[in-house]
Structure 1
Amino acid sequence: MTTEEEAPAVSSAGAPARLAARTRNLRKVYGKTVAVDHVDLDVPVGAVLGMLGPNGSGKTTTIRMLLGLVLPTAGTVELLGHRMPDGAGWALPEVGALVEGPGFHPFLSGRDNLLRVAAAEPRLASKDIPRAVGQALERVGLSAAANRRYRGYSLGMKQRLGLASALLIPRRFVVLDEPTNGLDPAGTREVRAVVADLHASGTTVLVSSHLLAEVEATCTHVAVLHQGSVVAQGELAELLEAGDAGVLVSTPDVAVAVDALRDNRIPAREAPGGVRVDLAATTAPEVVATLVGAGVAVHEVRRQRTGLEELFARLTESAEQGPRLSEVDTFEEARDDARR
């Protein structure tokens, strides 16, 4: 690619400037197995998007297609304004990625492995490589183990080195596939801090994870995948707010309160500390008025928001049950073994 070459244009309906990446009708089929089924994914610029889903839900396959590592069976992918995979040469230099765990030379040290990666980085001048490598190692907490051979690294240390390779230079877009895999609590906190730092600098981050607590703590947006399809996506706060909104009423008259509300067709149930009331078809003032009118002593009314774990369970459990798509992860390996 020369400076005179012009980057391939995106489609006439190209990604809006507010989107760092998007897919439309994305589909991937391996033989008779559907790995990803008509996925429409939007990744807003500057967001930290958590891609959630059970094992085999299509998260890694979607990421592979997003980065041009796997060709889709159908649909389109646009990354940083470029149609993939044709625009990979223009988009990928702006992207740092850790996908399905790092792959390094086992007999080289962590530092030497990272130096080899840095030498292939087109946007990193040779004179700046040692400094960039040192900063990346320090950023992920591997400075003390930098000169140890990679084969002696723990799983968590290997994850850290892979993360360091994605952060050698400033990126517009960073993709992290299960970045906390194998990390202890301290390492997990460090990764959380790295993600927060990237977000603060304006970098768009896509994090694939099955750890709901980590996603809720670090992400601004979320996309939930199940059996190869997106079942929900959007701003995390809005999705949680759109869940089963309710209030917790503190009262000593629990049984009377539940009966009074149900008599007025207001869903309610006993809960720790009082009564949990569903606000899907009513309002908090109406709940209080109903209880007071029934002679119930109301000590406190607190708004309750759906937690991510509850939202995730409801979205995935409501989806149609089918074959586990985790079989897709080994499909290509099994095919290669059969050919040998």
Structure 2
Amino acid sequence: MVIGDRVAPAATAAGATARLAARTRNLRKVYGRTVAVDHVDLDLPVGSVLGMLGPNGSGKTTTIRLLLGLSTPTAGTVELLGHQLPAGLGYALPEVGALVEGPGFHPFLSGRENLLRCAAAEPHLATAAMPRAVAEALERVGLSAAAGRRYRGYSMGMKQRLGLAAALLLPRKLVVLDEPTNGLDPAGTREVRAVIADLHASGTTVLVSSHLLAEVEATCTHVAVLHEGSVVAQGELGELLEAGNSGLLVSTPDTTTAVNALRDNRMPARATPDGVRVDLTATTGPEVVATLVRAGVAVHEVRRQRTGLEDLFARLTSADSPEAGLSNVATQELPADREVSS
């Protein structure tokens, strides 16, 4: 787990590298005088569902493009499925399905015809297997009924579904989804969540870039938070939430007595509608309970107050957060045709 400037060192053992589906080291991308990505060290564990979070302009899409070889880094290294980029792109990319920056298809072809063209470009998909692969992918994203309609007549949500279907034409080791629920209604969002769960259950590694914190919290096992082009936190979701959790909620009918007893023992506490909230920065749960019992306070329930992802995200990316001060570079994601390398 990494929070703030406590960055895990690069793996040196072959076994450690093998446990990562992708990783970057000292990754940096500059467009003219604008720094879009600044010394990013990102680890994507095999079999995980990693949610990449960050405000607009934080470098999420730029990082994904660098991971997939769609853009060349100004500095740093990228390793994808055990292959160093760019030399290993031809070996790694056939094992990757991706939906990045919205799908792009031929407007006058149907959804099925567009997918058949995508299938023809898959080196691991036999010609005879293409029709079935296309049909299964359309069924998986709920587009079977609209497969014969021209793409130009698709809604935004249907276009997004077709892009997802293209990424799922055959089993992948890694699936990368950039804002996969963009344009989808609640039912479509639930279906995408189910697809991600199926991929995770099958052992596929998934990287999801999203601004929907509730969706990330519901679907992801790991999280990486980007802010101003740098990674300010990454690790297992549960560990990150636990690291931001320093409170204990005590349910008791003796609220006033409990607060006074804790404060007398230099334990910061305050009354809340649900009971007594105790700050654990300088104490522990057992010490809190022991103090209350000695004071004769009736304790009905004690539980940790779990930090939500929204609270953690706000703390890490707020202007006055110490973790957010790691990089004060100007960040802006620009089109590839304005790319400048140095």
Same fold (TM over 0.5): yes
Contact 1:244 1:280 in 2 (8 A): no
Give the aligned partner of residue 99 of structure 2. 98
Moved more, 296-305 or 86-95: 296-305
> Within 5 Å, which residues of 2 pair with 1:121-200?
121-200=122-201
Aligned residues: 323
Residues in 2 aligned to 1:85 and 1:124: alpha-carbon distance in whole angstroms: 23
SS at match of 1:281: coil
- Give the residue type in structure 1 aligned to 2:18: A
- Give the residue type in structure 1 aligned to 2:250: V
Residues in 2 aligned to 1:107 and 1:253: alpha-carbon distance in whole angstroms: 71
The runs of 4+ residues in structure 1 deviating greater than 6 Å are 11-15
> Within 5 Å, which residues of 2 pair with 1:291-310?
291-310=292-311
Structure 1 residues 274 and 12, CA gap change in structure 2 (3 angstroms) = closer
Residues in 1 aligned to 2:273 and 2:303: alpha-carbon distance in whole angstroms: 13
**Is residue 329 of structure 1 aligned with residue 313 of structure 2?**
no
Q: How far is 1:280 from its partner?
A: 2.6
Q: How far is 1:332 from its partner?
A: 5.3
Residues in 2 aligned to 1:67 and 1:89: alpha-carbon distance in whole angstroms: 11
SS at match of 1:16: helix
Give the aligned partner of residue 57 of structure 1. 58
Give the aligned partner of residue 235 of structure 1. 236
In structure 1, runs of 5+ residues without a counterpart are 1-10
Q: How far is 1:291 from its partner?
A: 2.2
Residues in 1 aligned to 2:12 and 2:233: alpha-carbon distance in whole angstroms: 27
SS at match of 1:329: coil
In structure 2, runs of 5+ residues without a counterpart are 1-10
Give the aligned partner of residue 6 of structure 1. none
User: Residues 183-224 of structure 1: CA distance to partner in whole angstroms, max 9, x if unpaired?
Assistant: 111111111111111111111111111111111111111111
Q: How far is 1:257 from its partner?
A: 2.5
- Give the residue type in structure 2 aligned to 1:287: V
Residues in 1 aligned to 2:127 and 2:335: alpha-carbon distance in whole angstroms: 40
**Is residue 84 of structure 1 aligned with residue 123 of structure 2?**
no
Contact 1:67 1:85 in 2 (8 A): no
Q: How far is 1:155 from its partner?
A: 1.0
**Is residue 287 of structure 1 aligned with residue 291 of structure 2?**
no
- Give the residue type in structure 1 aligned to 2:289: V
User: Residues 26-48 of structure 1: CA distance to partner in whole angstroms, max 9, x if unpaired?
Assistant: 00111111100100000111111
SS at match of 1:182: coil
User: Residues 98-156 of structure 1: CA distance to partner in whole angstroms, max 9, x if unpaired?
Assistant: 00110011111111111111111111111111100000000000001111111111111
Residues in 2 aligned to 1:119 and 1:293: alpha-carbon distance in whole angstroms: 74
Q: How far is 1:253 from its partner?
A: 3.1
User: Residues 236-291 of structure 1: CA distance to partner in whole angstroms, max 9, x if unpaired?
Assistant: 11111222232211123333423332332222233231111122321222112222
Q: How far is 1:85 from its partner?
A: 1.4
**Is residue 257 of structure 1 aligned with residue 261 of structure 2?**
no
Structure 1 residues 38 and 323, CA gap change in structure 2 (3 angstroms) = closer
Q: How far is 1:323 from its partner?
A: 7.2
Residues in 1 aligned to 2:49 and 2:75: alpha-carbon distance in whole angstroms: 27
Contact 1:97 1:174 in 2 (8 A): yes
Of all paired residues, the percent bearing the same amino acid is: 81
SS at match of 1:38: strand
Structure 1 residues 331 and 109, CA gap change in structure 2 (3 angstroms) = closer
- Give the residue type in structure 1 aligned to 2:248: V
Contact 2:34 2:330 in 1 (8 A): no
Moved more, 191-200 or 234-243: 234-243
Contact 1:56 1:324 in 2 (8 A): no
User: Residues 51-87 of structure 1: CA distance to partner in whole angstroms, max 9, x if unpaired?
Assistant: 1111111010000000000000100000011111111
Q: Please, what TM-score do these two structures have when normalized by structure 2?
A: 0.89
Q: How far is 1:19 from its partner?
A: 0.6
- Give the residue type in structure 1 aligned to 2:87: D
Q: How far is 1:331 from its partner?
A: 5.7
Q: Please, what TM-score do these two structures have when normalized by structure 1?
A: 0.90
- Give the residue type in structure 2 aligned to 1:181: N
Contact 2:36 2:330 in 1 (8 A): no
Structure 1 residues 174 and 332, CA gap change in structure 2 (3 angstroms) = closer
Moved more, 234-243 or 259-268: 259-268
Residues in 2 aligned to 1:27 and 1:322: alpha-carbon distance in whole angstroms: 14
Contact 1:30 1:331 in 2 (8 A): no
Aligned CA RMSD, in angstroms, stands at 2.0
Residues in 2 aligned to 1:158 and 1:259: alpha-carbon distance in whole angstroms: 60
SS at match of 2:87: coil
Contact 1:174 1:203 in 2 (8 A): yes
